[in-house]
Chains A and B, each alone.
Chain A
Amino acid sequence: MKKIIALFLFASVATITCAQKIDYDKKLKDLGITLITPAKPVANYVKVVRTGKLLYLSGDGPTLPDGSYITGKVGADLTVEQGYAAAKQTGVSILSTLKAELGDLNKVKRIVKVLGMVNCTSTFTDQPKVINGFSDLMVAVFGEKGKHARSAVGMSSLPSNIAVEIEIIVEVE
């Protein structure tokens, strides 16, 4: 009798635990997000390094499906709304890298830390509103697990004049 109860409890817990798995393909589809194929690094660095339970990602830009970037300087040739869209696209690029690296986005335990760098003029001060494009996406996709510590800053220039560059640290299973 005790064994049956124990087995039943185990099966219940196992089922409930399994039920925590999220169908990210469906979630991304619901959000209208299509992941891209991450570009391979063209120099002596890699996209992701794992150390213990942490993944350190290289800075990523607003990569479009055709491999080109959203470029421009916020406060000069891009509005805050366009910057937000660029930060969101950077999020799509980063999700694509995570999916390629982990195989399953369920392995993401927490988005820990984000450094959001905005290519902007020296008088631009709304960097947080731009980087919200990325942060909002992380929370929309991962829920509580997507809530991260963050710094949003201005850069005088970024590689290839991309509008936004974002690097993150992720805790994985």
Chain B
Amino acid sequence: MKKLIALSLFVLVATLSFAQKKTDYDKKLKELGIELYTPSKPIANYVKAVRVGNLLYLSGHGPAQADGTNITGKLGADMTVEQGYAAAKQTGISILSTLKAELGDLNKVKRVVKVLGMVNCTDTFTDHPKVINGFSDLMVAVFGDKGKHARSAVGMNQLPGNMATEIEIIVEIE
């Protein structure tokens, strides 16, 4: 009798754990109006993601669009904060595309741990956090509490190809 109760409890807990954890990310992204794309391949001696234990280190990503081009420009000179926010959000889409390609299933993301958000800007620009919010807001919208991360938002005097933002992240995975 005791064994039967123990087994029933185990099955119940296992079912609850399994049922609660899986999120339909395809549906969630669709509701958010987000379309992932096939990430471009690196053209030099680096890779998009490296796994160490249960941490995934991603290379810096830019605001890459589906056609492969980046949103370019310099905050404080030829881009507004709103345009910067949109670029940071697009960088988030690029990163989600890499995560999906790398992991197969976004449910494998246990936590977005650390973000370095780099803004291409003039040396008098001071609203870097408002720009990088475009990325942070997307992570929380997609992953909920798992998307809440530690972050640094900083200014760079130049970024590759004059892209507006470059963001690198560390993700904890199952």
Whether A157 and B153, one on each chain, are in contact in the complex, defined by CB atoms closer than 8 angstroms, is no
Q: In this assembly, does A6 line the interface, its C-beta being within 8 Å of a C-beta of chain B?
A: no
Whether B157 and A156, one on each chain, are in contact in the complex, defined by CB atoms closer than 8 angstroms, is yes
Q: In this assembly, does B69 line the interface, its C-beta being within 8 Å of a C-beta of chain A?
A: no
Using Cβ atoms and an 8 Å threshold, which residues of chain A touch B151? 45, 58-59
Contact of B136 among A45, A59, A159 (CB under 8 A): A45
Q: In this assembly, does B150 line the interface, its C-beta being within 8 Å of a C-beta of chain A?
A: yes
Among A48, A52, A155, find the residue whose CB has the most chain B CB atoms closer than 10 A: A155
* Interface residue tally on A, bucketed by range: 20 to 34
Q: In this assembly, does B100 line the interface, its C-beta being within 8 Å of a C-beta of chain A?
A: no
Cα distance, A158 to B125, chains bound together (Å): 8
How many residues of B are in contact with the other chain, CB < 8 A? 35
Whether A47 and B150, one on each chain, are in contact in the complex, defined by CB atoms closer than 8 angstroms, is yes
- Knowing A59-B153, A159-B153, A165-B154, the reply to whether A44 touches B111 (Cβ < 8 A) is no
Cα distance, A28 to B145, chains bound together (Å): 34
Which stretch in B6-14, B40-48, B101-109, B116-124 binds the other chain?
B116-124
A73 to chain B, nearest CB (A): 7
Q: In this assembly, does A49 line the interface, its C-beta being within 8 Å of a C-beta of chain B?
A: yes
Task: Write 15 A-B pairs (CB below 8 A) sorted by A numbering.
Answer: A43-B129, A43-B136, A44-B136, A45-B148, A49-B149, A51-B54, A56-B113, A56-B150, A57-B150, A58-B150, A155-B154, A156-B155, A157-B128, A157-B157, A158-B126
Chain A residues in the interface with B (C-beta under 8 A):
42-49, 51-52, 56-59, 73, 115, 117, 121-122, 155-161, 165, 167
